[in-house]
Amino acid sequence: MINFIGTYDCKADVKGRVMLPVALKNQMAPVLTDGFVVKRSVFQPCLELYPMKEWNLLMEKMNKKNRFVKKNNDFIRRFSAGVKVVEIDATGRLLIPKNLIDIASISKDVVLSSAINIIEIWDKDSYEKVLEDTTDDFAALAEEVMGGDEDELS
């Protein structure tokens, strides 16, 4: 499993190409040749970039869902809507598909933010607004999510 680190300000050109910062590209080196999957986020107005191995692990988990249960089928359809396979080109650029640029309202200023084993792709204004909106509640959220039993952290 890969764990990405960092938040990076980038620029997208008119075709939706984003030059990856060297620090992020270096972290991606072990998985660059495998390719990536980009999709809309479930909870936020951003995109998620999955290394192919991480995507395949997630798909194995989802494939265990009974497709004859309507809510499972509906979830899988919605979850995979707009999913695209993408690659990082030889110059270190990621081409974000046009339909996904529109969904995430990505303009020229882009933020690539690590989220453990994936990279979130944000329009800079949206990213800053989400961070601002969660600032007041972050201490309570941290306690709720991470403040459980001591054994859970080891």
75: domain CATH number is 3.40.1550.20
Q: What is the mean pLDDT of residues 31-47?
A: 95
48 within some domain: yes
- Average pLDDT over the chain reads 92
Phi-psi region of 83 (alpha: psi -120 to 50; beta: other; left: phi over 0): beta
pLDDT of residue 151: 58
Query: What are the structure tokens assigned to 17, written together?
Result: 């190409």
What 3-state class would DSSP assign to 45?
coil
15 within some domain: yes
* Structural domain that includes position 63: 7-124
147 within some domain: no
149 within some domain: no
148 within some domain: no
Task: State pTM to two decimals.
Answer: 0.90
The total number of structural domains that make up the chain: 1
Contact predicate 1/117, CB 8 Å = yes
pLDDT of residue 152: 54
3-state helix vs strand vs coil in the chain, percent to 5: 45, 25, 30
Q: Please name the amino acid found at residue 101.
A: I
53 within some domain: yes
Q: Binning pLDDT at 50, 70 and 90, where does residue 135 land? A: low
pLDDT of residue 134: 73
pLDDT in tens, 93-127: 999 999 999 999 999 999 999 999 999 999 999 99
Bridge-based pairing state of the strands 84-86 and 36-40: antiparallel
Q: What percent of the chain has pLDDT over 90?
A: 82
